[in-house]
Amino acid sequence: MSENRKCQVLIVGAGPGGYVAAIRSAQLGLETIIVEGDKPGGVCLNIGCIPSKAIIHAAERYESLTKHSADNGHMGITINDNPNLDMKGIVEWKDTIVQRLTKGVEALVKGSGAELINGWATFSSSKQCTVKTNQGDIIIDAENVIIATGSTHIDLPFMPCDEEFILSSTGALSLQKLPKKVAIVGGGYIGLELGCALSKLGSEVTVIEGMDSILGIMDKEIRRPLEIWLKKNKVTVHTNALARGSKIKGKGASSKVELTFEKDSEEHKITVDKVLVTVGRSPNSKGWGLENMGIRMDTSGRFIRIDRQCRTSAPGVYAIGDVAGEPMLAHKASAQGEMVAEIISGEKREFDKVAIPAIVFTEPEIVSVGLTPDEAKERGEEIITGKFPLAANGRALTLEAEKTGGFIRVTARESDHVILGIQAVGSHVAELHGEFVLALEMGALLEDIADTVHAHPTMTEAFHESVLKSLGHAIHSA
C-alpha cells in the first residue's frame, strides 16, 4: 500500500541546484521534500567537478615530484628516487573527499529541516509524483515543484561507454591502473581537463576533436597557452577529425582498443589502452514523467523552457540547472535554486546575472567572465582592451604560474570605461575569478579597479595592471 504525503515544496534531484533549493526553502519555513535517486550532491560532487579536481591536483603533485627527481632537480631541490604512482591509491583518496562532502550535503539538508527521500520519482501530473523507494511507494502532492534532474554524459551510438575500454568521465575518474595510452574523443573542457591530468601522470594522450580547434568555447588568444602546453607535453591533437568506431583487440589483461577516426577524408587507426568519450552532456528530461506535466520545451527541444524566474509553462512548477538550459554549470544551478526558493516564499527575485564565470581546469587554467573582445564588437560596442602577461608578475613567477605564457585580459567600453569582460589564462588563475565577477556584477569602471590597492606580491596585481594597460599607463609592462 502506498504512503501519501503533501508538502509545500517538492524538489526532484539533490545536485548542486536541488540541494541548495531544499536548504533555502526549509530555512524560509516551507515544508520541503527533496527526492534523489542516487547520492546527494549530484554529478558535480560524486562523478564530476569535485573528483576530477582531486585527480587533477594529484597529477600536479606527481608532476612536481618528477621534476625534483630529474637529473638536476628543480628549484635547487633534488629527490634521489623516482616517485611511485599508485592509481588505485589516488582514486581511493579522491573517494574519501567525495564521501565526506556527500555526507556533509546530506547533513546540511536534514539539518535545515528539509526531508530527503532516496528513491525514483515519476510524475503523473504537474504536481503529483510517485516515488519508488526500498521501503515502498510514496505518493507526493506538492504545492510547488522544482525540477533539478541535471544531465548525463552523451554516448556515441556506434561506440557506447562500457566503462572498461570505452570510458565516460565517470569511468576515467575510477581508473584502478594508469593506462599507457589514452585516446580522448572530444576536445572540450571535460576531455582536456582529464587529458592534461593523465598526461602529467605519465599517459600518452591523443585528442580527437571534430571541430577545427580544441576548446571552441574560448577564443583563439585565450586558448593559445593551453595549445602550447599540449604540444610541449607531447599530447597529440587531431582537429577536424571524427571518431568512426572502435574494436577490442586481444583478450584479458593484454586487451587493447583500436580506435578508427576520419581526418582529411582519410581513415586513421590508433591502438590505445582506453578511449575516453567526452562529446558533451545531455539534460535528464526523460524517464520520470515530464510528458505528463504539461511543460513546454525550448526551441532546441532539449531543455525545459523557463523564464527569468525559472518558471515553466506549468503553474507552480520550476526548473533549474542543466535540465533548464545553458550554461550547464553547477554554480548556475545553485544560484537558481536559492532564487526559486525565495520566489516561492514570496520574495521578488529574477535571474538577471551580468556574468556567470566559466573556468577550465586544464594546464594552464582558463577563466572567462563576461564578453570577449570579439563578442563585444559583435554587439556593436566600441572597446578598449588591456592585456598583462603573468611573466611580469612577481608572485606568478614564484608560483611558476607564468610558464605557459599566461595573461589577464580586460575588455571595456571605450566611451564610459565600463568593464564588459575579463579573461585569464595561467596556472592558479581560477582563484582570481571572484574579483572578475564582482567587477562585472557591480558595473565597475576601469578607474574603480585602477584606484583599488591590490596587495603585493599577489597575482591579483596582474588584474590591476591589465586595467592600467587598458587605460594606457601600465606600470610593469611596456
464 included as an active-site residue: no
Q: DSSP string spanning 95-157?
A: HHHHHHHHHHHHHHHHHHTPEEEESEEEEEETTEEEEEETTEEEEEEEEEEEE---EEEPPBT
Q: How many CA atoms lie within 13 A of 275 on its CB side?
A: 29
Tell me the three cell numbers of residue 133: 523507494
Strand order in the sheet with 204-208: 166-167, 274-277, 181-185, 204-208, 236-238
Q: How many CB atoms lie within 10 A of CB 394?
A: 14
| Residue among 219, 253, 250, 158 at smallest CA distance from 423 | 219
Write the DSSP symbol of residue 288: S
E strand or H helix that includes residue 121: strand 120-125
Give the C-alpha separation, 218 to 358, whole Å.
Answer: 10
Using CA atoms, how far residue 445 sits from 362, 389, 418, 423, in Å, is 30, 21, 4, 16
- Residue in 331, 417, 456, 476 annotated catalytic: 456
Give the C-alpha separation, 253 to 240, whole Å.
Answer: 33
Tell me the three cell numbers of residue 67: 621534476
Q: Helix or strand or coil: residue 454?
A: coil
State the catalytic residues: 456
